[in-house]
């Protein structure tokens, strides 16, 4: 809890992402404002994808239109650039940075709300207990580091690391987590009826995003978010390579500490791609597929039944 709700980590993340929390504090940041920011990025993505849109939709030249929409975006989402001019968003790199910022702000808003201590509970409930209750978890069990469950996950973490990422791990704790009502929601969804293809896969994110992830789950970008800012379009991004996911934790900004999730993922029928395609989701749905496997040059040699980790995972694969 102290890692998820660490105020110093929030200040560091906000600084790294160049967000101006003095002009617009997290506690005053609304869904409407974030949605407005996403919409500006979506309009910018359309311009970058097809510069002719500048004339047909905005009655401007490309440079003028991107500058206008960039300034509108910065008016929604204040940034700190010091004495430097705010960069005009004219490429996918800056577009992706904008999307990452808005996604992080969405999650950090949840943590900021949970960190507020109400007058009625200030003396009766410890702040960390109150924050934990706010996450709404059904289970959060710390594993015994001498248990077979701990050992299997530790080996999976180490063995699934990519040599190219040059990453080493020092595991502090492993927790078994179940979100309240998660299994029931899945069992009642249309996806429970598709052929089973479940795997244990990794997901990495900044520690400041975890209050949002644990309380609300992994979320797909909103309709206003541009698809071109994602390698395979909007969706949940998981990996069978632990170090690939760990890279998205940005632990270099937090003294080397990070949080990594090992998710039970229902993949259904997978389309395989070897190159980025931000329309992958649309194509998968059109072809009766349920997920996209972005296949790298190196992958798992074999998959085994994850029932060896915990009985509830029988039938789920891990490598």
Domain assignments of the chain as residue spans, ordered by start:
7-114, 135-318
What is the distance of C-alpha 308 from the center of its chain? 28
Mention the CATH class of domain 7-114.
mainly alpha
Instruction: Tell me the torsion sign for CA atoms 216, 218, 223, 226.
Output: positive
pLDDT at residue 232 in the model: 93
Average pLDDT over residues 179-189: 91
Total length of the chain: 319
Query: Is pTM, for the whole model, over 0.75?
Result: yes
Beta carbons within 10 angstroms of residue 253's beta carbon? 17
Rounded to whole angstroms, what are the CA distances from 194 to 156, 187, 303? 27, 11, 21
Residues 112, 22, 260: CA angle, nearest 5 degrees:
40
pLDDT at residue 184 in the model: 92
Least confident of 25-29, 89-93, 95-99, 189-193: 189-193
pLDDT at residue 227 in the model: 86
User: 286: Cβ–Cβ under 8 A, 6 or more apart, which residues?
Assistant: none
Least confident of 74-78, 83-87, 115-119, 186-190: 115-119
Q: Which fold has domain 135-318?
A: Phosphoenolpyruvate Carboxykinase; domain 3 (3.90.228)
User: Of 78, 75, 70, 71, nearest to 25 (Cα)?
Assistant: 78
Residue 223 has pLDDT above 70, yes or no: yes
Whether 7-114 and 135-318 share one fold: the answer is no
């Amino acid at each position: 809890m102290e890692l998820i709700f660490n105020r110093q980590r929030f200040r560091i993340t906000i600084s790294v992402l160049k967000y101006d929390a003095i002009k617009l504090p997290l506690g005053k940041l609304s869904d409407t404002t974030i949605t407005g920011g996403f919409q500006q990025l979506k309009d910018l993505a359309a311009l970058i994808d097809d510069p002719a849109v500048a004339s047909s939709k905005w009655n401007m030249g490309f440079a003028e239109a991107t500058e206008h929409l960039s300034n509108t975006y910065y008016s929604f989402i204040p940034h700190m650039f010091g004495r430097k001019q705010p960069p005009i968003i004219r490429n996918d790199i800056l577009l992706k940075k904008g999307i990452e910022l808005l996604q992080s702000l969405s999650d950090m808003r949840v943590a900021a709300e949970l960190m507020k201590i109400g007058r009625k509970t200030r003396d009766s409930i410890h702040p960390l207990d109150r924050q934990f209750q706010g996450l709404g978890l059904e289970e959060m069990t710390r594993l015994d580091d001498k248990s077979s469950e701990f050992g299997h996950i530790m080996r999976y973490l180490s063995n699934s690391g990519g040599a190219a990422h040059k990453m080493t791990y020092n595991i502090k704790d492993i927790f078994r987590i179940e979100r309240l009502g998660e299994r029931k929601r899945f069992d009642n969804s249309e996806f429970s009826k598709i052929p089973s293809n479940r795997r244990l896969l990794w997901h990495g994110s900044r520690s400041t995003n975890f209050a949002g992830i644990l309380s609300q789950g992994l979320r797909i970008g909103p309709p206003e978010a541009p698809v071109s800012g994602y390698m395979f379009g909007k969706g949940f991004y998981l990996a069978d390579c632990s170090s690939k996911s760990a890279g998205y934790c940005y632990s270099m900004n937090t003294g080397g500490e990070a949080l990594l999730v090992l998710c039970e993922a229902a993949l259904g029928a997978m389309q395989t791609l070897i190159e980025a395609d931000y329309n992958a989701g649309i194509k998968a749905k059109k072809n009766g597929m349920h997920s996209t496997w972005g296949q790298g040059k190196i992958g798992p040699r074999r998959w085994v039944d994850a029932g060896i980790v915990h009985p509830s995972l029988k039938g789920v694969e891990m490598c």
